[in-house]
Each structure stands twice: as C-alpha cells, then as structure tokens.
Amino acid sequence: MKIKEMIVVEGKDDTTAIKRALDADTIETNGSAIGDAVIEKIRLAQEKRGVIIFTDPDYPGERIRKIVSEQVSGCKHAFLPKSEARPKNGKGIGVEHASPEAIREALKGAQTVDEDFSEVISPEDLMMCGLVGGEGAKERREKLGIKLRIGYANGKQLYNRLNMFQISREAFIKAVNEINQEEDHA
C-alpha cells in the first residue's frame, strides 16, 4: 500500500512503524515544540502532495495535531485508538507500538476538516446519548471515537471533532445505536 500524502508524525520510532506498515514518507516534528522550519516543510508538503497528521493518542500528540492544523490548513487527520497504541508491556502509548494492520486501518480512515461546515450535532445530543456528564461517558466516547475514526476525546473535544470532521447526524446516531446494542448484549 502506497500513500501519496506526507504523514506528520512525532519522531523516528513512528516513522519506522509507518514504514513497516506501508510505503509512505513522513515529516517528524520531534516533539511538541514545533519549529518554524518544520511548519514550512509541512506547508510545502501540503501544497505538493497533501498531509495526513498521525500523532499519538495522548495529550502531547493532540497538542501537535492542534498546532499543525492551526498553521497548515486542509490537512487530513488519522487517529489510532489508544488500545491499538499500547505496547505489550503496557508502558507508554504511541504510534510506534501499533501493529502494521492498525496503522494501515487508521490511515485508510484519514479525514479532512472543513471549517465551513455548519453544526449538526449539538452538546445536548452528547448529553442525551450518555457521552458527557454521566457514568460510563468516557468509555462511550472512546468507543464512539473508534467507530467514527476520530479518536478519543473529552466531551468538549468530541463536540468539536464531530462537527469539524462533518460527521453526519445519521452516522452519529448509527454509531451510538451500535454502542447501545453492544452494551445491551454485554
């Protein structure tokens, strides 16, 4: 599998994991203190080939994702579920620990953000579906993030991502119903 876009990752270990999974080029941010030279490299990549931001599913990874997407518009975003980003020994979390299959699946689901999309899913919808402010909300948000390929997010981030990635009301309801059915059968 070959990916046309350049993939923005955090470091060398992530690049190694990507190259084990598929044929792709990466840009390493080398942490969350992203310099101007790295941003310029990402801008050029976006102009020439397109960019997929693929960072770790943790706070530093989200911070890098936010910095890059604020400075380089039109990037695609790929998310890896936390469960796929943990090593066998359980220490740490990151793209470098993911299996080649999990990496390919995450990149296949890369999505573009549309800043002009008008809100379809409201904060009240999140409350009514048990995704914020109640027992089990965190676990339900994690399941929803996996089903919709938008990654884990707290309540506020979830609201923003659902709308940012133009998740339709229909897709949202379908995913919530699937989670409800899974919980009923558990």
Distance CA(83)–CA(167), nearest Å, equals 22
What confidence tens digit (pLDDT) does each residue in 39-49 have?
999 999 999 99
Spell out the domain ranges in the chain: 1-113, 114-186
DSSP codes joined into one string, 33-49: ---HHHHHHHHHHHHHT
For the chain, give me the number of helices (H) and strands (E)?
8, 5
Helices (H), 4-136: 12-21, 36-48, 59-71, 100-108, 123-128
Chain CA centroid to CA 35, Å: 22
Give the chain's residues under pLDDT 70: 113-119
pLDDT for res 133: 87
Strand 6-9, strand 76-77: pairing:
unpaired
Distance CA(133)–CA(31), nearest Å, equals 32
Distance CA(15)–CA(21), nearest Å, equals 10
CATH topology (fold) of 1-113? Rossmann fold (3.40.50)
**Residue 76, strand partner residues:** 52, 112
Supply φ then ψ for residue 138, to 5 degrees.
Answer: -60, -45
Residues 82, 23, 114: CA angle, nearest 5 degrees: 60
